[in-house]
Amino acid sequence: MFILSVRLRGGGVSVVWRVAGKKQKSGEKECQETPHHVMVRSGSGLAFSLPEGFGTMCWIMRMELVKTFRFEAAHWLPTFAEGHKCRRMHGHSFEVDVAVSGSVDPERGYLIDYGDISAAWAPLDAKLDHRLLNEIEGLENPTSEMLAVWIWERLKPLLPMLEAITVHETCTSSCVYRG
């Protein structure tokens, strides 16, 4: 069996395939994710070979993409105990992983342009980089946790596929927020 095209429509999928040189079309099928599909690249497009029993399965190619950004900023943490080192003003080279996920359009063959993630991030970088985070509205208590939420709330409207924000405060400490 040789799959010619796959189109996702909402929760359904339409597949055109060729058996022994004859073109056939599935119509709409209920989507069920299975681990059995095999993807092969053919010419300039994508083709899919599926095992027998295709009638009960459909094709979904879910992906998660991660784009990492860096910025330098100072902060101090007012909710820590007096005398704790985090109450003193200090700086970090923050790293933020912006993860998006979804089903790849089989005709485009990609989930999202990384440049779209960068464009959504740019206004936040302007607010965060080389700043004292405590002075930013909404970040008066700029723990990594609060920063992750702050970033999520500003990116989610621009990136509906946003899946997770990971804030790395140091090389060994990070926090993940999934909305």
Q: Is 175 a catalytic residue?
A: no
**Does residue 167 sit in helix, strand or coil?**
strand
Mutual angle of helices 144-155 and 114-128, in 10-degree steps: 130
- Cα 157 to Cα 87: distance, rounded to the nearest angstrom: 33
Residue of 72, 130, 135, 145 marked active site: 130
**Which one, of 78, 73, 76, 91, lies nearest residue 131 by Cα?**
73
Q: Both ends of the chain: CA-CA distance in Å? A: 42
Q: Is 31 a catalytic residue?
A: no
Residue of 95, 163, 169, 175 marked active site: 169
φ/ψ bin of 172: left (φ > 0), alpha (ψ from -120 to 50), beta (otherwise): alpha
Neighbouring residues of 42: CB distance < 8 A, sequence distance ≥ 6:
none
Q: Is 86 a catalytic residue?
A: yes
Residue of 86, 92, 95, 175 marked active site: 86
Q: CA 149, 155, 160, 162: dihedral to nearest 10 degrees?
A: -60
Catalytic positions, please?
Answer: 86, 130, 169
